[in-house]
Amino acid sequence: MFYLDPSYMMYALPGLLLAIWAQAAVRGTFSHYARVPTSTGVTGAQVAEIFMRVTGLRVGSNPIPGMLTDFYNPSNKTLNLSQSSVQNSVASVAVVAHEFGHALQDAQNYMPLRLRGAIVPAVTLGSWVGPVLFFIGLYFQNYNLALAGAIAFAATTVFAIVTLPVELDASNRAMRLLASNGVLAGEELTGARKVLNAAAFTYVAAVAQSLFQLLYFVSLLAGRRRN
Output phi, psi for 65, to 5 deg.
Answer: -75, 165
For residues 22 and 194, what is the distance between their CA atoms, to the nearest angstrom?
13
Nearest of 28, 29, 3 to residue 16 by alpha carbon: 3
Spell out the per-residue pLDDT of the chain, length 227, in tens. 444 677 788 888 899 999 999 999 999 999 999 999 999 999 999 999 999 999 999 999 999 998 889 999 999 999 999 999 999 999 999 999 999 999 999 999 999 999 999 999 889 888 989 999 999 998 898 999 999 999 999 999 999 999 999 999 999 999 999 999 999 989 999 999 999 999 999 999 999 999 999 999 999 998 766 65
pTM for the whole thing?
A: 0.90
Count how many Cα atoms sit within 13 Å of the Cα of residue 214 in the half-sphere of its side chain. 21
Catalytic one among 49, 99, 167, 188?
A: 99
Residue 62: in which H helix or E strand, if any?
strand 60-63
C-alpha gyration radius of the chain? 20
Output phi, psi for 7, to 5 deg.
Answer: -65, -20
Verify whether residue 188 is a known catalytic residue. no
* pLDDT attached to residue 1: 46
* pLDDT attached to residue 6: 76
* pLDDT attached to residue 2: 46
DSSP state of 79: E
